[in-house]
Structure 1
Amino acid sequence: MGILVSLLVLSFLIFFHELGHFLFARLFGVHVERFSIGFGKVLCAKRVGGTEYALSAVPLGGYVKMKGQDDTDPTKVSYDADSYNVKPPWQRILILLGGPLFNFLLAFFLYYAIALMGANAYQPVIGMVQPGSPAKEAGLTKGDRILAINDQKIRTWDDLSGMISHSSGAIEMLVDHNGTLKDIVIAPRELEAKNIFGETVRKRMIGIGPSGAVTTVNYDPLSAFGYAWEQTLAASKMIVVSVEKLIEGVVPAKEMGGVIAIVQVTADAAQHGLVALFALTALISVNLGVLNLLPIPALDGGHIVFTLYEMLFRRPPNEEVVYRLTVAGWGILMALMVFTIYNDIARIAHG
């Protein structure tokens, strides 16, 4: 059942991405010849309004084939009025941006739904106090619940961590200590910690860790917009930084996962309920949006670079150069796919 859910999630993400390209293409009068979920041999298809809607054999992607645009042969062009090639560069860029944009929109809608259903978050309950830390000196102990900082209500551990790290000077905390309310004044200090990439960073802290207890935070329809916006931005930033750390070598290449890993984690999330599944789907959707904007010729980002070149130099790039770069781009993507699948199999083999 979990694998079936994973495949449905992947298919839906691909569909939504390609839907963005499709709608922007139709908005600007470009004829779409085929809208396919999957690559390779067409398993079934139906033609509606001049467009063939297809389900193909390899469910690892999808594509929208527009008139005058062919990734398998970039030299094939059409100069008909409803062709992609004849549209102004700014319209072609918007068509290319349509897919990633829909990935971000989908993530936003999913985070919005999570906010209405009840978002899971760590409770602001102390599970650990570092020796010699400001928290230890102020008398905070394991099990204390932080209710407010500087008269601002604290609902989650992220609220607590964010307010401390962005504070200046001493802060006033309202603490529930075994049912007794206590006002504590504490001065955060810059301390060393490890970020999610294993790097040592310095930020204002008081030397406490969460207990791991989880709470459900419910949002009204209006405040849910703010939550969805913040989560979409945070997920986008995390993916961008992750790519940067991967290029820098901070994150080892062996940590990269492929389609097998996606199926595994999606199946696992499905076992933990709809909120967990929506959260992971939103993260994967943002991931697809960001990665498709990378300036690799076979991706949307590569096509955008070619189109920007045309806008800047008032002429399209050399067809032979575009062809060779596109073939190289596909080579890079195929190599990455094989490498990540190898990583997935190695992880499974090593438990």
Structure 2
Amino acid sequence: MIGDLILKVDGRRIVSFSELKQVVQASSGKPLLLNIWRNGMEIQKKIMPENRPIESADGKLQETLRIGIVGGFALEPERISPDIFTSLKLGILTTWKVIYSSINGLIEMVRGSISAKHLTGPIGIAHAITDVSKNGIVPFFSLVALISTGIAVINLFPLPVLDGGHLMLLAYEKIVGTMPSELFLRAFMAFGLALILCLMLFATYNDLLRIIL
């Protein structure tokens, strides 16, 4: 019903609608027991997830488990000022989530589960920062920190030109006892530079398409 607040699913506390979606997707279609706050009292209701076709980002229809619930804001968000230790903990957790999301997103993109159209370049990043900056300095610096963390993760990938590629060469030298030939290093770096430039051009192309369309 409209106004219901979902407290738990199968005994697991739910704090966001995105978390509820994750639980439903992981249910494999099995019945879920929901603890719901309705009209001042807590009730339990069993719901069976169903496969329903939805349109993906690339325009294709794919079946996804749904339970027929639309999320909204149950309460107005409250601003808090955590102490230094709580802030440190939240910072570490947020950084870990960004690292995980960056790696998982790239893996899913390679698998084809996520369309490459979602790849964002410098124009898209600048546009996002401009929009967020209108909400204040805290959201602005939060987004900048998240972007910096994501870039740092990508920079450690074992690709030529990136720091991860240099670390891979150092590991090779440590194991084998000698560096690869000069010809190989030049070809290795040229390949890495060409790959990075192609990715940047493709991401910029995506950004321009979003602006035009």
TM-score band, normalised by shorter chain: 0.7 to 0.9
User: In structure 2, do the counterparts of structure 1 residues 278 and 207 end up closer, same or farther at CA, with 3 Å as the change threshold?
Assistant: farther
Alpha-carbon distance between aligned partners in 1 of 2:49 and 2:143, rounded to the nearest angstrom: 33
The one-letter amino acid paired with 2:97 is: A
If asked which structure has higher relative contact order (CA below 8 Å, sep 6+), I would say: 1
What's the % identity of the aligned pairs?
25
Partner of 1:310: 173
Partner of 2:130: 267
Alpha-carbon distance between aligned partners in 2 of 1:150 and 1:246, rounded to the nearest angstrom: 31
The one of 143, 148, 153 equivalent to 2:3 is 143
Greater shift, 244-253 or 289-298, is seen at 244-253
The one-letter amino acid paired with 1:145 is: L
The one-letter amino acid paired with 1:208 is: I
- Larger Cα Rg: Structure 1 or Structure 2? 1
The alignment partner of 1:183 has SS state of strand
Find out whether 1:252 has 2:111 as its counterpart: no
Alpha-carbon distance between aligned partners in 1 of 2:200 and 2:115, rounded to the nearest angstrom: 16
Deviation by residue 1:207-237 (Cα, 9 ceiling, x = unmatched): 4221246523636324444433332222222
User: In structure 2, do the counterparts of structure 1 residues 349 and 152 end up closer, same or farther at CA, with 3 Å as the change threshold?
Assistant: closer
Alpha-carbon distance between aligned partners in 2 of 1:311 and 1:201, rounded to the nearest angstrom: 48
Alpha-carbon distance between aligned partners in 2 of 1:163 and 1:144, rounded to the nearest angstrom: 19
The one of 285, 289, 296 equivalent to 2:159 is 296
- 1:191 Cα deviation after fit: 4.3
Find out whether 1:186 has 2:42 as its counterpart: no
The alignment partner of 2:201 has SS state of helix
Find out whether 1:344 has 2:207 as its counterpart: yes
Alpha-carbon distance between aligned partners in 2 of 1:161 and 1:219, rounded to the nearest angstrom: 27
- Structure (1 or 2) with the greater helix fraction: 2
Alpha-carbon distance between aligned partners in 2 of 1:280 and 1:314, rounded to the nearest angstrom: 43
- 1:305 Cα deviation after fit: 1.2
Aligned residues: 204
Alpha-carbon distance between aligned partners in 1 of 2:67 and 2:147, rounded to the nearest angstrom: 34
Partner of 1:239: 102
Find out whether 1:282 has 2:145 as its counterpart: yes
The alignment partner of 2:180 has SS state of coil
The question of whether the paired residues in 2 share the 8 Å contact of 1:164 and 1:188 is answered with: no
TM-score, reference length from structure 2: 0.75
User: In structure 2, do the counterparts of structure 1 residues 211 and 309 end up closer, same or farther at CA, with 3 Å as the change threshold?
Assistant: same
Find out whether 1:215 has 2:77 as its counterpart: yes
The alignment partner of 1:341 has SS state of helix
Gaps of 5+ in 2: none
Deviation by residue 1:86-108 (Cα, 9 ceiling, x = unmatched): xxxxxxxxxxxxxxxxxxxxxxx
Greater shift, 322-331 or 206-215, is seen at 206-215
- Structure (1 or 2) with the greater strand fraction: 1
Root mean square deviation, CA, Å: 3.6
The question of whether the paired residues in 1 share the 8 Å contact of 2:9 and 2:32 is answered with: no
Runs (4+) off by over 6 Å: 148-154, 166-170, 196-199
The one of 5, 14, 20 equivalent to 1:161 is 20
The one-letter amino acid paired with 2:4 is: D
Gaps of 5+ in 1: 1-140
Alpha-carbon distance between aligned partners in 1 of 2:42 and 2:22, rounded to the nearest angstrom: 17
The one-letter amino acid paired with 1:285 is: S
The question of whether the paired residues in 2 share the 8 Å contact of 1:297 and 1:303 is answered with: yes
The one-letter amino acid paired with 2:91 is: A
Alpha-carbon distance between aligned partners in 1 of 2:198 and 2:171, rounded to the nearest angstrom: 27
